[in-house]
């Protein structure tokens, strides 16, 4: 079942068409990558989903029904530009923001303290936001985004500014949120994260959809039949490491075995980063 559907959505600002007939289907309990270069239209689409702006045409369905203002309670949005009040105390502000999402103060306090402990920031509860590092502030905003357990989560560059340890922490939490039933829209320029986290992706450029599908299928679609081969020669000269192309891997293996002992044989698939660069460059020509 698709939890989120965007059907033929278009949006124009002045004379510039920033989204042109965009349609996607996001399966329930999945992580869907929204990819594209700066200015591609990703932020506009996210703003439409959060009802900050409206499409000129098209429709957005949430759980099979047209998106309504009341659906905001079931959406958690972590924007790329963080927005905490610098002079407020961290815990006080987190409780306030949780209450805006419909939680009562007692429930919010209990859940927030649990998450603060989990993220190693419990000692910062009574500090002002301005006293926190950028990474600490981002942890707080991530917690506030998910605290009301929304069914749809929208993360825009969630790993920006994090060190590798905290990136890994957030990745694990995002996967756990999906496993617990959340549907996640994930916008990023980090293609390595896309390969690790996303079930499906859409790539847009200049408001146009240029690629959509599962990460696995896309990598298979753009593979160039190249293999990394290591074999130990019969003539005793040691191991040989080759990168070879072949449309018939069975014949390639047979040929290698005739020369020696096959040590390893791996297909080299294109990275999402390479696919992204090639497709965006081609669409810009």
Total domain count for the chain? 2
Last residue of a domain, one of 180, 199, 220: 220
98 with 155, same domain? yes
Question: Residue 163 pLDDT > 90, yes or no?
Answer: no
- Taking only Cα atoms into account, the Rg of the chain, rounded to an integer number of angstroms, comes to 23
Is 205 inside any structural domain? yes
54 with 107, same domain? yes
- Tens of pLDDT, residue by residue over 36-76, are 998 899 999 999 999 999 999 999 999 999 999 989 888 99
Q: How far is CA 115 from CA 103, 118, 128, 139, 167, in A?
A: 15, 5, 18, 10, 16
57 with 193, same domain? yes
Question: Residue 7 pLDDT > 80, yes or no?
Answer: yes
Which residue has tokens 């502000």? Answer: 93
Separation CA 76–CA 184 (nearest Å): 9
Q: Report which of residues 8 and 234 the model is more confident about.
A: 8
> What's the helix, strand, coil split of the chain in %, to 5?
40, 30, 30
Is 273 inside any structural domain? no
Last residue of a domain, one of 197, 220, 243: 220
- Tens of pLDDT, residue by residue over 222-266, are 999 999 999 898 887 788 898 998 889 899 999 889 888 999 999
Q: What is the pLDDT of residue 183?
A: 97
4: which 2 tokens? Answer: 């989120």
72 with 139, same domain? yes
- Tens of pLDDT, residue by residue over 195-216, are 999 999 999 999 999 999 999 9
Separation CA 99–CA 109 (nearest Å): 10
Strand partners, 5: 25, 61
Separation CA 139–CA 78 (nearest Å): 11
262: which 2 tokens? Answer: 């096959």
Is 104 inside any structural domain? yes
Q: What is the pLDDT of residue 41?
A: 92
Cβ within 8 Å of residue 185, ≥6 positions away: 4, 26, 32, 34, 46, 49, 152, 153, 154, 155
103 with 179, same domain? yes
237 with 208, same domain? no
Is 42 inside any structural domain? yes
Domain around 169: 2-220
Which residue has tokens 């408001």? Answer: 207
User: For position 212, which CATH number holds?
Assistant: 3.40.50.300
186 with 128, same domain? yes
- DSSP code of 151? S
Closest among 235, 220, 231, 228 to 270, alpha carbons compared: 220
| Strands 152-156 and 16-27, sheet pairing | unpaired
Q: What is the pLDDT of residue 81?
A: 77
Residues 280/205, Cβ–Cβ less than 8 Å: yes
Is 9 inside any structural domain? yes
155 with 241, same domain? no
Is 281 inside any structural domain? no
Is 240 inside any structural domain? yes
Separation CA 227–CA 244 (nearest Å): 5
Sign of CA dihedral 270, 274, 280, 284: negative
- Tens of pLDDT, residue by residue over 73-95, are 889 999 887 778 888 999 999 99
Percent of the chain with pLDDT over 70: 100
φ/ψ of residue 248, rounded to 5 = -130, 90
Cβ within 8 Å of residue 175, ≥6 positions away: 31, 197
Closest among 275, 224, 227 to 250, alpha carbons compared: 227
At 192, the pLDDT band (50, 70, 90 cuts) reads confident
Closest among 60, 28, 63 to 46, alpha carbons compared: 60
Average confidence score pLDDT of the chain: 91
Is 6 inside any structural domain? yes
Q: What is the pLDDT of residue 99?
A: 93
257 with 216, same domain? no
CA 232 from chain centre, in angstroms, equals: 42
pTM exceeds cut of 0.75: yes
107 with 241, same domain? no
133 with 72, same domain? yes
Q: What is the pLDDT of residue 90?
A: 93
63 with 149, same domain? yes
């Amino acid at each position: 079942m698709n939890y989120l559907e965007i059907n033929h959505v278009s949006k124009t600002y002045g004379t510039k068409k920033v989204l042109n007939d965009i349609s996607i289907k996001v399966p329930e309990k999945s992580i869907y990558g929204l990819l594209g270069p700066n200015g591609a239209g990703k932020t506009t689409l996210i703003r439409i989903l959060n009802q900050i702006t409206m499409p000129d045409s098209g429709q957005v369905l949430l759980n099979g029904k047209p998106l309504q203002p009341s659906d905001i309670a079931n959406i958690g949005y972590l924007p790329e530009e963080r927005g905490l009040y610098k002079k407020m105390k961290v815990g006080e502000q987190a409780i306030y923001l949780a209450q805006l999402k419909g939680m009562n103060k007692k429930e919010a306090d209990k859940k927030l303290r649990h998450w603060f402990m989990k993220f190693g920031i419990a000692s910062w509860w009574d500090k002002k936001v301005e006293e926190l590092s950028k990474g600490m502030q981002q942890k707080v905003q991530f917690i506030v985004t998910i605290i009301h357990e929304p069914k749809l989560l929208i993360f825009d560059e969630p790993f920006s500014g994090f060190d590798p340890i905290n990136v890994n922490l957030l990745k694990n939490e995002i996967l756990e949120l999906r496993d617990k039933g959340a549907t996640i829209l994930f916008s990023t320029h980090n293609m390595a994260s896309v390969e690790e986290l996303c079930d499906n992706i859409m790539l847009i450029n200049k408001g146009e959809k240029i690629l959509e599908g599962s990460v696995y299928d896309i990598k298979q679609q753009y593979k160039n039949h190249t293999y990394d081969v290591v074999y130990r020669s019969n003539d005793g000269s040691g191991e040989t490491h080759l990168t070879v192309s072949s449309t018939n891997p069975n014949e390639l293996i047979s040929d290698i075995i005739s020369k020696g002992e096959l040590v390893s044989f791996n297909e080299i698939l294109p990275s999402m980063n390479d696919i992204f660069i090639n497709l965006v460059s081609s669409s810009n020509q």
